[in-house]
Amino acid sequence: MERTLGIIKPDAVSKGYAGKILAIIEENGFNIVGLKKIRLTKEKAEGFYYVHKDKPFFNSLTDFMSEGPIIVMVLEKENAIADWRKLMGATNPENAEEGTLRKMFAENIERNAVHGSDSPESAKYEISYFFNALELV
């Protein structure tokens, strides 16, 4: 079994898509072992996305991620990291395949509805950024 960190981003939460996205996650065989609704500060968003700190979109991205509530989740299944990325679809919804979450719910390359860890190392960092062991059931 593998675990990954998923986020329903402020754009999707504010538009009321969270319930639909959670249903799709369960229909696709993920066990939701951790879940909470939180609001990031700008600083907490910067810490989460520190690998992108030199990118031109860093300031805008961290403003966006702290503009309203998000839902952070730990998703578990075999091959969870790759399978969650496949279900999300391409970063830019213009390139996302039919049936993917970003095709269905994203606005644009930044306001793209969902996030997922991109490797086992980042999953470990990202899960521990939001959850302690007692919160994973």
**Could you tell me how far CA 12 lies from the centroid of its own chain?**
11
Q: Is 132 exposed, middle or buried (0-12, 13-18, 19+ CB in 10 A)?
A: exposed
Binding mask 7-46 for ligand CMP (x = CB under 6 A): ----------------------------------------
Q: Is 30 annotated as a binding residue?
A: no
Q: Cα(136)–Cα(107) distance, rounded to whole angstroms? A: 31
Among 3, 77, 115, 131, binds ligand CMP (CB under 6 A): 115
64 is in an annotated binding site: no
**Is 115 among the catalytic positions?**
yes
Among 26, 41, 43, 57, binds ligand CMP (CB under 6 A): 57
Look-up: residue for tokens 């989740």? Answer: 73
Please answer whether residues 116 and 88 qualify as being in contact, where contact means their C-beta atoms are separated by less than 8 angstroms.
Answer: yes
- Residues catalogued as catalytic: 115
The residues that touch ligand CMP, with contacts defined as CB under 6 A, are: 52, 57, 61, 91, 109-110, 112, 115
